[in-house]
Amino acid sequence: MKYRIWYSTESFADFIIANTNLKNKIYTKKKMYESDANNSKNFHTMPDHIKKILYLDAPDLIIEIDHEPIFSVEVSTEAGTGHNVFQRFARLAASVENNVPSFYIYPEAVIITRQNTAPRWDKINPLVFKALDDVMSIYKIPSLFYYFPTDYPHDAVTSPNLLKKGVKYDQNRNYAGSPLATDSEMQLMFSAMNEIIGVVENQGVIRGRENLLNKRLIIDRRTFMNQEFIVKGGTMNTSPLSATLKIPTQYLLNYLRKHENTHYQIGELLKSRNETIIYKVDAKFRGDPYPGALAAIDYLLCREGKSFEERKYNLVMVWGNLTIDNVNNTLNIISTKSTINDFISSVQASENKNILSKEYRLSDNFCGTVKKS
DNA sequence: CACCTGGGCGATTCATCTCA
DNA sequence: TGAGATGAATCGCCCAGGTG
């Protein structure tokens, strides 16, 4: 069996290989081209089954066996307060939505030093554990969380790794930026990765993946994650759910009505659900961290099936200051920071990245295609 | 005043342009 | 045609300020 390891950062790929059974396998490493937007020249060379995982966002690592992905890995050392821990959530979800198990490595807490205050730990928002569990419930595919090693709960001010914000990195220079391999969390993660490798080798990738949630090692991890949600005081009222509202869909339809005419009718799917979840942000229009939080809200509140059509509630994102008008049964949205035009201009700008819109012709010597000048 | 929320930016990378 | 300059998109991460 041949393994292929797609990476964004080669040192992290080497780190995972060296610490798992991958080191004993026949494998090749390849650089991952992450999107049409960031690398339009090379993205089309990515195999289709990898593109499917990249459709929302690119993970740090994808491992495949005979051209079939077996797991993906995402790693971050950011302070996971508020909605930050959900920034990478779309990547984990995109992987699982394609039946590919995903791993998330994230610190339990990171030391942040603010103006006029002593350094202190910014702790993870435990709601991420509930969101991952909901993803697992829907897809029956593991999406496992492991703590990036830190000094936590050591006192922040005297933390041995205070200069690194309390985060513990591997000492080996070849694995620069990777987590400390000897840490117990990382050891557990390597075991889970080895378990997946063993199962798919014995049962085949397709059947193997479906049986992974029944494996003791993975059941135990899922239990741990559920416990962390409770132990750390997780509720269904914290960020980003605190920025959501549930409204009668009729309010939304009344608001949108002014845009309906003979040429445009609001779709039946939107109308078919009685209630709508609104995620409201009053920020400048941009990516991070909102798309990840939006994906998490989908799983935490709306989804009841594998496709986005299978939602109990509509999921709508509002850019701007939203108020509910209970007199006229509609919405009021006022924004000074961003408007729908920001979205439209972003879409227009990406037209430049569309390789189909560019003119190509065969080069004179027929060695390939070149852009017409 | 501890905790939580959520709006923000700089560094990096890569494609494309410009000029010799 | 190639090298350096330029501009833009993305990634990775930041922590001020509000709240109870």
CA/C1' separation A36–C10 (Å): 11
Any strand B atom closer than 7 Å to A242 CB = yes
pLDDT of A125-165, one tens digit each?
888 999 999 999 999 999 999 999 888 888 888 888 887 88
A291-331 pLDDT tens trace:
788 888 899 999 998 888 899 999 888 877 788 888 999 98
Q: What is the pLDDT of residue A370?
A: 36
Work out the average pLDDT over A209-233. Answer: 92
Q: Which residue is nearest to nucleotide C9 (CA to C1')?
A: A38
pTM: 0.85
Please give the single-letter amino acid code of residue A2: K
| A 71-100, residues with C-beta < 7 Å of strand B | 81-84
CA(A250)–C1'(B14) in Å? Answer: 46
Report residue A338's pLDDT band, with 50, 70 and 90 as the boundaries: low
The dihedral built from the CA positions of residue A157, A159, A160 and A165, taken in this order, carries a sign that is negative
Is A273:A304 a contact under the CB 8 Å cutoff? no
- Pairing status of strand A275-281 against strand A330-334: unpaired
10 Å CB burial of residue A333 (0-12, 13-18, 19+) is middle
Q: Which residue is nearest to nucleotide C13 (CA to C1')?
A: A78
CA-based max dimension of chain A: 71
Query: Smallest CA–C1' separation from A91: which nucleotide?
Result: C11
CA A4, C1' C2: Å apart? 34
Distance CA A311, CA A313 (A): 5
Give yes or no for residue A182 having a pLDDT over 90.
yes
> 3-state class of A83 per DSSP?
coil
* A269 C-beta less than 7 Å away from strand B: no
Give pLDDT tens digits for A260-276: 888 888 889 999 999 99
A361: enclosing H helix or E strand:
strand A360-362
Q: Could you tell me the distance in Å between the CA of residue A214 and the C1' of nucleotide B8?
A: 42
Which structure tokens are listed for A367?
A: 């060695």
Helix (H) or strand (E) holding A333: strand A330-334
| Secondary structure tally for chain A: helices H, strands E | 11, 15
CB-proximal positions of chain B, under 7 Å: 4-9, 14-16
